[in-house]
Amino acid sequence: MEYTQKLVYQSNYWYNDGLEKAKIRDLSGAIASLKKGLQFNSENIAARNLLGLVYYGRGEVGEALVEWILSKNIKPQDNIASYYIQKIQQNPADLDTINQAIRKYNQSLLYCGQGGEDLAIIQLKQVVSTVPSFLRAYQLLALLYLHTEQYSLARQVLKEANKLDTTNELTLRYMHELTQSRRRRRESTEKTGKRPQTVTYSIGNETIIQPASMVMKENTGRMTIVNILIGLAVGIAFMWFLIMPAVNKSVSAKTNKQVVDFSDKIAEEEAQIAALKTELESFRATSEETENAQQTAASTKDSYEIVIEMYSHFLNDDISDSAMVEQILKVNPDALGALGRERYDEMRGILFPRYGETLYYTARENYSVANYTDAIANLTMLMQIDEGYDEGNAMFLLSKSYEASGDADNAGKWKERVEKDYPNVDTSEQNKDDTDDYEDYEDSDEDYTDEEY
């Protein structure tokens, strides 16, 4: 026991070290510390959840999900990793954006291997604009700018990368290389006594030569704009005095002829539109019937698969109630046959009351320690199982949890439901029960916090 306790203390030490580094955006250092903490104690839930957050902060969503899923498997109940996973799953558009960014990043790597630096730069610009926390994309973009000697752009990108992770070794190497490149150019200028007139670099199979002087660039840009404006002015004057009169006359004749033609075509096209509308309505009706049939078949298939799989787990008792209830809630009982409905009702009749009791008392515990987020999550799940649990007291506790968390809209909505459907709920007695039931629990149980570590 003494050896085990030492391992736990070491794991907590490295967790606290990683937490301090994460607060100052030292994400690379935080990752190293948290991994050491998990080496001492792989079941350190706080360290594993924080490691997932650090990965997420660097744009590495896949690695973050791996850590949170491992954390949830170790501790299925009262684990904030479930909240993180749920938040990602609730935003499929954001998740799709991240997946697209990763694909573009991988495509950029292929372009680099094929000598297509210009295409890689275009792709990476899109990646960092859609996912501003994607550290690896910033680093690859900076490397390409360094390779093509576009040092000012490389400096800007490296600044953004350094803000995301202040001690990342790869970013610091690129910044050092940028400094060395600028110093070599300055030394070369001092030896020759004059600034280089051109800068040459390669993009793909092309060699680009451009003026080095910023003043020359600025003057060239101004002269180009002035020349364009003068050309536009001359062209407008030429059109106004020579071409427009003849054009106006021709346009008037054509307009009169077109008015007559359009009048003849309007009646014909209105008849065609009416026929097309009738055909479209018929097609829509047929399409909706087919789609509804497909959806019903898919729902029936999914429901049967869930019932078969969950009934096997139910008999073997090899997974948690929460996992089984979560899957059973997805079943459409009306799509089941007699045997499937019998299995479904058997599991529901046993699991729902048992897991509902667990959810309710866990939520009350959460509420008693001011953990309103978990209380709301547990009670929301309970509402899916049985909205009238404990004669409406569970629904009233949900409204109080929303009210305590500052969500007045949801608090008011659930309180109206209680007053309408369960008018006999005694609110004063409910408050008393929530306090008395957990006085002994708070005195007896210990809960480690970041400060205690």
CATH number at residue 195: 1.25.40.10
Claim to verify: residue 206 and residue 121 sit in the same structural domain: yes
Cβ neighbors of 376 (< 8 A, separation 6 or more) are 398, 401, 402, 405
Residues 65 and 85: beta-carbon distance below 8 Å: yes
Listed residues 212, 231, 266: the one ending a domain:
212
Number of domains in the chain: 3
- Structural domain including 157 reads 116-212
Distance between CA atoms of residues 162 and 58, nearest Å:
11
What does the pLDDT read at residue 406?
92
Residues 398 and 385: beta-carbon distance below 8 Å: no
Distance between CA atoms of residues 327 and 427, nearest Å:
34
Q: pLDDT tens digits for 365-418?
A: 999 999 999 999 989 988 888 888 888 898 999 999 999 999 999 999 998 888
**Collapsing DSSP states into helix, strand and coil, what is residue 269?**
helix
State mean pLDDT over 54-66. Answer: 88
What does the pLDDT read at residue 58?
86
Asked if residue 301 is part of any domain, the answer here is: no
Claim to verify: residue 25 and residue 84 sit in the same structural domain: yes
For 46-50, 113-117, 170-174, 425-429, which range has the lowest pLDDT when averaged over its residues? 425-429
Claim to verify: residue 152 and residue 63 sit in the same structural domain: no
- Judged on CB neighbours under 10 Å (0-12, 13-18, 19+), 133 is middle
Listed residues 180, 212, 244: the one ending a domain:
212
pLDDT-based confidence at residue 436 (cuts at 50, 70, 90): very low
Percent of the chain predicted with pLDDT > 70: 75
pLDDT surpassing 80 at residue 45: yes
What does the pLDDT read at residue 288?
65
Asked if residue 288 is part of any domain, the answer here is: no
For 150-164, 204-218, 348-362, 400-414, which range has the lowest pLDDT when averaged over its residues? 204-218
Asked if residue 104 is part of any domain, the answer here is: no
Distance between CA atoms of residues 411 and 404, nearest Å:
9
Claim to verify: residue 81 and residue 123 sit in the same structural domain: no
How far, CA to CA in Å, does 72 sit from each of 31, 47, 248, 360? 19, 13, 75, 20
pLDDT surpassing 90 at residue 444: no
Asked if residue 252 is part of any domain, the answer here is: no
* Rg of the chain (C-alpha set): 34
State mean pLDDT over 289-298. Answer: 64
Asked if residue 279 is part of any domain, the answer here is: no
Distance between CA atoms of residues 118 and 365, nearest Å:
58
What does the pLDDT read at residue 438?
42
Instruction: Report which of 376, 374, 371 is spatially closest to residue 397, judged by C-alpha positions.
Output: 376
pLDDT-based confidence at residue 219 (cuts at 50, 70, 90): low
pLDDT-based confidence at residue 318 (cuts at 50, 70, 90): confident
For 19-23, 114-118, 229-233, which range has the lowest pLDDT when averaged over its residues? 229-233
Q: Which carries the bigger pLDDT value, residue 95 or residue 1?
A: 95
**Collapsing DSSP states into helix, strand and coil, what is residue 167?**
coil
Claim to verify: residue 169 and residue 81 sit in the same structural domain: no
Claim to verify: residue 85 and residue 120 sit in the same structural domain: no
Distance between CA atoms of residues 174 and 170, nearest Å:
6
Claim to verify: residue 67 and residue 13 sit in the same structural domain: yes
State mean pLDDT over 114-141. Answer: 88
Report residue 223 CA to chain centroid gap.
46
Q: Which carries the bigger pLDDT value, residue 292 or residue 62?
A: 62
